[in-house]
Structure 1
Amino acid sequence: MELANVPNLASSSSFFFSSCTCRVLCYRGRRTGTGAITVFAAGSRCSADSACSELIEQQNVDPLSVASSPANTHRYRRRDFAAVALLPFLLPNVDMASAAELYDGSIIQNGVRNVLTKVKAAGVLRLVFHDAGTFDVGDKSGGMNGSIIYEVDRPENTGLSKPLKILRKAKEGIDQVQQVSWADLIAVAGAEAVALCGGPEIPVRLGRLDSRTADPAGKLPEETLDIVALKTSFSKKGFSVQEMVVLSGAHTIGGKGFGNPNGFDNTYFKILLEKPQPTSSGMPIGLPTDWALTKDDECLRWINIYAEDQDKFFADFRDAYTKLVNSGASWRTA
């Protein structure tokens, strides 16, 4: 880790997107000997992506980049998190609040990495879908707002108490250095789960506010929906058919039978093409909604595309995931 000319930071707002060309502070942080964590300058404006256009604030804390190392360098070292936490005490001119501004993104990321494993990845990713999946374009209700912490007792959320417990442990450690909303934490954790299992690196914008109440019930797509009802459900959430198909590819990890349960790849789409829908007499693979996709020509076209081109799947999943975790979110404003 290197520090150079770290300024005393004033409370201000900034915005984040990994591909932007904002003016950069002179800090670069090295983690596990690879790559650099870039901290965007407070108040600078970026034109690289529309996601950068809105200023956001997090209790006088700049939402920073959640930088990611290449997939093959994922080594979750507790000492990285400890080193970041200790920096305020090592630098006399930087108080705790300023240090939190400087290390916001990496603190969340490393806090998640301390508790996440490949075996736990599918549950954490499912948590993202069930928190964000309540969004309704019509009345602007639901979405990525952390309300899942009030909804774990609902039948559709059975089993989510375990990944929530995992992230609660991470949150306790992160909050000792700086406060993080449940919505931001879950969004970052899902991206980390995908990358840990070999999937694409997904930058996550920070600054979401948490809901203080549960979202309306009955907003998640049911597992028994036919293709017409499934397309209608996703359309009400603002997602196209292509986005519905690519997000369904998240079922490639976990215990649904689509290849390696700990590997994020395009096996999901290959199996949909190669294997018939399982019957009650055999081991079930996937959910009825997975197989419903194969009964629609438009969905089937995208299934073929992703089965043949994993890079295309990764790129489109990255975009759809970003849209998912931003859907319905309330953002801190300057």
Structure 2
Amino acid sequence: MICLHLFFIIKLNKCVRGRWHSAGTFDVETKTGGPFGTIRHGDELAHEANSGLDIAVGLLEPIKAQFPILTYADFYQLAGVVAVEITGGPEIPFHPGRPDKSEPPPEGRLPQATQGPAHLRDVFYRMGLCDKDIVALSGGHTLGRCHKERSGFEGPWTSNPLIFDNSYFRELLSGEKQGLIQLPTDKALLEDPTFRSFVHKYAADEDVFFEDYANAHLKLSELGCASDTLLEISLYFSFTSSFALSIIHFFVFRWP
């Protein structure tokens, strides 16, 4: 039942954004922030960049209550993994074992949509990620849309925002179109020659994008985590991404 519920929340296009905002606050130098479930707290949800995520957190809460064996930190990251896979994206390894923490990170660690390449590097390098990760993770914009009342921007990035594919990069290269959105941070990927080379690569080869996205997603979801703890606990849990996906398919396509 966990995956049946997750499917309906995925249709609200919030799980990928939620897991990103939950993890994207990590600081590799201070070892603060990261994917440790703090986004469930009101102080962090009140951050300007998290506008609207209270809806996703609220919808997930009664589902989480049915699975006390999972920490909030693991549960939010599992929701993001399942969201990508059920919408046609790559299979992403999932390793449980993240502890829940109570202290929210400082506000201002997430990317600002109005900024350019230097800002993107500042944010992602702070997490210990690289240029390839920046572009690959930006491809997550293939899902969902912006809402003006939350971000100041309105519209989807692609013509089918319920499908995870490489259309974000193809749309980016084809220029602005009526009804679709390109944020300043999206356009920044074309302004910088290193970023642009990855955009061309991913637009031309979806398999390459999927591979790089899965690797970047995994890295982001485990920032600040002790790998030995994650691997040890993953042997005990049955909540792998493949298992979660198979259960979703069972409920969605065979549900009476």
Whether these two folds match at TM > 0.5 is yes
Task: Give unmatched runs, 5+ long, in structure 1.
Answer: 1-77, 79-110
Could you tell me whether the CA contact under 8 Å between 2:23 and 2:36 is conserved in 1? yes
Structure 1 residue aligned with 2:49, among 156, 159, 171? 156
User: Structure 1 residue 283: deviation in Å?
Assistant: 4.7
Relative contact order (alpha carbons < 8 A, sep ≥ 6): 1 or 2 greater?
2
Partner of 2:11: 119
Secondary structure of 1:185 counterpart: helix
Of stretches 294-303 and 284-293 in structure 1, the one that deviates more from structure 2 is: 284-293
- What TM-score do you get using the length of structure 1 for normalisation? 0.62
Secondary structure of 1:204 counterpart: coil
Give me the whole-angstrom Cα distance separating, in 1, the residues matched to 2:50 and 2:3.
21
User: Structure 1 residue 257: deviation in Å?
Assistant: 2.7
Indicate the percent of aligned positions where both proteins have the same amino acid: 35
Report whether the alignment pairs 1:193 with 2:83: yes
Report whether the alignment pairs 1:135 with 2:31: no
Secondary structure of 1:116 counterpart: helix
Report whether the alignment pairs 1:273 with 2:173: yes
Could you tell me whether the CA contact under 8 Å between 1:132 and 1:328 is conserved in 2? no
Secondary structure of 1:239 counterpart: coil
User: Structure 1 residue 152: deviation in Å?
Assistant: 1.0
Partner of 1:171: 64
Partner of 1:82: none
Could you tell me whether the CA contact under 8 Å between 1:133 and 1:219 is conserved in 2? yes
User: Which residues of 2 match residues 226-241 of structure 1 at below 5 A?
Assistant: 226-241=116-131
Q: How many residues are matched?
A: 217
Give me the whole-angstrom Cα distance separating, in 1, the residues matched to 2:70 and 2:79.
12
Structure 1 residue aligned with 2:132, among 229, 232, 242? 242
Give me the whole-angstrom Cα distance separating, in 1, the residues matched to 2:222 and 2:4.
22
Give me the whole-angstrom Cα distance separating, in 1, the residues matched to 2:222 and 2:93.
12
Higher helix share: 2
Partner of 2:141: 251
Look up the equivalent residue of 1:263 and give its one-letter code.
I
Could you tell me whether the CA contact under 8 Å between 1:147 and 1:214 is conserved in 2? yes
Could you give the per-residue CA deviations for residues 96-146 of structure 1, whole angstroms, max 9, x where no partner exists?
xxxxxxxxxxxxxxx1433323422x3111001101000011211111100
User: Which residues of 2 match residues 287-298 of structure 1 at below 5 A?
Assistant: 287-298=183-194
Of stretches 111-120 and 291-300 in structure 1, the one that deviates more from structure 2 is: 111-120
Report whether the alignment pairs 1:224 with 2:86: no
Instruction: Kindly name which structure, 1 or 2, has the bigger radius of gyration based on alpha carbons.
Output: 1
Give me the whole-angstrom Cα distance separating, in 2, the residues matched to 1:291 and 1:203.
30
- Deviating beyond 6 angstroms after TM superposition, the runs of 4 or more aligned structure 1 residues are none
Look up the equivalent residue of 2:220 and give its one-letter code.
L
